[in-house]
Amino acid sequence: MKKAAIYARVSTPDQHIETQLYQLREPAARRSFEVVQEYADIGVSGSKARRGGLDAMLAGAHRRRFSIVLVAAFDRVARSVKHFLTVVDELNDLGIAFVSARENIDTSGAMGRMFVTIIGCIAELERSLIVERIKAGMRRRRLNGNRLGRAPLSVDRDGLVRDRLSGMSLTNVAKRYGVSRASVVRFVREARRQSGEAVPCMAAAAEARPAAQCWM
């Protein structure tokens, strides 16, 4: 019975890592693999080369604890082709096969290794095209004179500043005008600077804050 390791990753903590693990345990049992270790990274982006679970899996590979690594999909291992192929090459150099369930790829054969390279390059090309389309759209909007980013808040800034400077609490001003506390601070600060008035600091005890801060 061949010894296998499972590697799973989810990008956010609210995703269920058990779903991936279950999907990998079943084919492992069907192929009579003995799963000796399960490695996981929870709430970690695939763009990060250094990850606790991935690093532990590679360390286990170097100790020859298993001869097969199973993953749910290529992108669970890495987002970039360079990093993905680095991991697969490292496993291949150690004589460890890489099996991806979604792509149905097994690098124990030459064809599997070829498909890994081809699919990885296609995925990288697709991401590059998406980025280029986004940049082209931004350039087009800029040339057409359209604003980039969020639209400015439609707020009675003069009234907001008057209420804040008259002594209304930061929280109450924010609620009254439907903006965040940070926006209130920013509007008051901008108003003071435009008028040439100095920007004072005051203790935040009145705002139920634990430490002093600049409020305008």
Count H helices, E strands: the chain?
8, 7
Catalytic residues: 11
Q: Mean pLDDT over all residues of the chain?
A: 83
Report the candidate in 49, 55, 33 with the shortest Cα–Cα distance to residue 83. Answer: 49
Pair type for strands 3-10 and 34-42:
parallel
Q: Which residues of the chain have pLDDT under 50?
A: 201-216
Token pair, residue 7, equals 């590697």
3-state class of 10 per DSSP? strand
Amino acid (1-letter code) at residue 178: G
- Residue 166 is predicted with a pLDDT of 92
- Residue 204 is predicted with a pLDDT of 38
Report the candidate in 205, 213, 204, 155 with the shortest Cα–Cα distance to residue 184. Answer: 155
The pTM (predicted TM-score) of the whole model is 0.55
Asked whether the beta carbons of 79 and 46 are under 8 A apart, the reply is yes
Report the candidate in 64, 74, 58 with the shortest Cα–Cα distance to residue 107. Answer: 74
Which one is the CATH code of 3-125: 3.30.390.50, 2.40.50.180, 3.40.190.10, 3.40.50.1390?
3.40.50.1390
Asked whether the beta carbons of 8 and 76 are under 8 A apart, the reply is yes
